């Protein structure tokens, strides 16, 4: 044990937060899996069913979030700064909320055309959610710092990939789509998928802040 470990040895620990963070992170994976399915399901009825699933997942996410805030309000000892726990919890929740918002728009607009760009984007979103889980899991203990940092870096790469897809998707849309209504629908969906990627990057930024502080 080094000096830093010795200093931390005497400080009381609070471990229950990590399990809750993991649940919230797993929830983003569930939501993004369903989102990938949604974009690859041709039948309208099946899509409606998937939409309901995503709605349920979003609700579950809210419950996780509320639970973390409740526990935070009752805990004197926290694994890291209260503001950071707050920030981490809400950004993870936002990821699920944005996924739900995309699935809602698909339903409301009665979208029927899912371009290959959109499909590629949601697959990358799903990969991003898997990385969130890796990073969040690694927060517990001090040994996983490199693993967490690598996951954060990979998330940044994924975000730039989504950006590229986004630009290609928009330019091909304006080039090929001649029906204005269809163009508006698709543009809205593409933009909202891109927002999810940005939010995933926000999660990785919060995690990096925490790492910097507690290294």
Partner 1 sequence: MFTILIVIIVLAFAFDLINGFHDAANSIATVVSTKVLRPFPAVLWAAFFNFLAYWIFDLKVANTVASTVNGSVISLQVILAGIIAAIIWNLLTWYLGIPSSSSHTLIGGFAGAAVAHTGSFAVINQAVILKTIGFIFLAPIIGMFIAYVISVIILWTCRKANPHHANKWFRRLQLVSSGAFSLGHGGSDSQKVIGIISAAMMVYIANLNAKGIAIPEWAHVSETIDAMGKQHLHVPAWIPISCYTAISLGTMMGGWRIVKTMGTKITKVTPVEGVAAETAGAITLFAVSQGLGVPVSTTHTIAGSIMGVGMTKRLSAVHWGVANNLLIAWVLTIPVSMIIAALVYLGITAMGI
Q: What are the residues binding partner 1 (CB under 8 A)?
A: 3-4, 7-8, 10-12, 14, 73-77, 80, 82, 213-215
Residue whose entry in the numeric block shows the structure tokens 């730039």: 160
The distance of closest approach from Cβ of residue 156 to partner 1 in the complex, given in angstroms and rounded to an integer, is: 23
Nearer to partner 1, 82 or 147 (CB): 82
Residue whose entry in the numeric block shows the structure tokens 């309000």: 73
| C-alpha span between 145 and 73 (Å, rounded) | 27
| C-alpha span between 17 and 38 (Å, rounded) | 32
Nearer to partner 1, 84 or 188 (CB): 84
Nearer to partner 1, 71 or 134 (CB): 71
Q: Which two tokens stand for residue 6?
A: 């010795």
Q: What is the DSSP string of 41-54?
A: ---HHHHHHHHHHH
Nearer to partner 1, 36 or 149 (CB): 149
Q: What proportions of the chain, in percent to the nearest 5, are helix, strand and coil?
A: 85, 0, 15
The distance of closest approach from Cβ of residue 197 to partner 1 in the complex, given in angstroms and rounded to an integer, is: 31
The distance of closest approach from Cβ of residue 213 to partner 1 in the complex, given in angstroms and rounded to an integer, is: 6
The distance of closest approach from Cβ of residue 114 to partner 1 in the complex, given in angstroms and rounded to an integer, is: 47
């Amino acid at each position: 044990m080094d000096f830093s470990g010795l200093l931390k040895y005497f400080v009381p620990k609070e471990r229950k937060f990590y399990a809750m963070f993991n649940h919230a992170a797993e929830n983003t994976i569930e939501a993004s899996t369903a989102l990938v399915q949604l974009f690859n399901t041709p039948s309208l009825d099946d899509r409606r069913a998937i939409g309901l699933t995503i709605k349920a997942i979003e609700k579950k996410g809210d419950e996780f979030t509320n639970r973390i805030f409740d526990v935070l309000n009752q805990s004197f000892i926290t694994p890291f700064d209260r503001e950071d726990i707050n920030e981490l919890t809400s950004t993870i929740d936002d990821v699920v909320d944005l996924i739900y918002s995309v699935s809602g728009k698909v339903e409301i607009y009665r979208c029927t055309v899912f371009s290959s760009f959109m499909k590629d984007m949601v697959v990358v979103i799903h990969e991003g959610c898997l990385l969130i889980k890796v990073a969040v899991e690694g927060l517990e203990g001090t040994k996983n710092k490199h693993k967490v940092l690598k996951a954060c870096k990979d998330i940044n790469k994924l975000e730039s990939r989504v950006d590229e897809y986004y630009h290609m998707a928009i330019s091909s849309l304006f080039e090929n789509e001649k029906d204005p209504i269809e163009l508006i629908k698709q543009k809205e969906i593409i933009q909202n998928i891109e927002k999810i990627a940005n939010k995933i990057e926000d999660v990785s930024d919060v995690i990096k802040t925490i790492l910097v502080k507690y290294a």
